[in-house]
């Protein structure tokens, strides 16, 4: 499913030249704090037996806290796709205000 997210939004980087990936440090500063919060939340839920992953639907590669690789990628790819989408809308809708540049 992550492939659909990538295909569905990462083309915006090339076609509309949103330049999100060109500002990768800024993207990571935006995404990592929340991703870390969700990793901690997942780790807790897994350790308490409240959450699990279907072994038939994952690659079987686990990272720290017994969290599957796909979950770590989800916490990075989906927010980056969302940022690309909002930047694409802003590039098309020039009247959308930018922080600090209101009309």
d(CA 70, CA 13): 23
Q: Is the dihedral of CA 70, 40, 9, 28 positive or negative?
A: negative
Separation between Cα atoms, residue 62 and residue 48, nearest integer Å:
17
How far, in Å, CA of 7 to CA of 3, rounded?
A: 6
pLDDT of residue 76: 94
Q: How far is CA 59 from CA 14, 16, 38, 47, 101, in A?
A: 29, 33, 20, 20, 45
Tell me: the pLDDT tens digits for 24-58?
A: 999 999 999 999 999 999 999 999 999 899 999 99
Using DSSP, state whether 68 is helix, strand or coil. Answer: strand
The pLDDT, as a whole number, for residue 74 is 96
Other C-beta atoms lying within 10 Å of the C-beta of residue 3: 8
Task: Convert the pLDDT of each residue in 51-102 to its tens digit.
Answer: 899 999 999 999 999 999 999 999 999 999 999 999 999 888 888 776 655 4
């Amino acid at each position: 499913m992550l492939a659909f997210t990538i295909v569905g939004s990462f083309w915006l980087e090339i076609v509309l030249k949103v330049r999100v990936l060109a500002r990768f440090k800024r993207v990571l500063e935006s995404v990592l704090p929340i991703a870390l919060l969700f990793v901690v939340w997942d780790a807790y839920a897994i350790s308490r037996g409240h959450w699990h992953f279907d072994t038939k639907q994952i690659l079987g590669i686990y990272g720290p806290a017994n969290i599957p690789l796909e979950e770590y990628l989800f916490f990075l790819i989906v927010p980056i796709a969302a940022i690309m989408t909002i930047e694409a809308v802003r590039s098309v809708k020039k009247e959308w205000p930018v922080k600090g540049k209101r009309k």
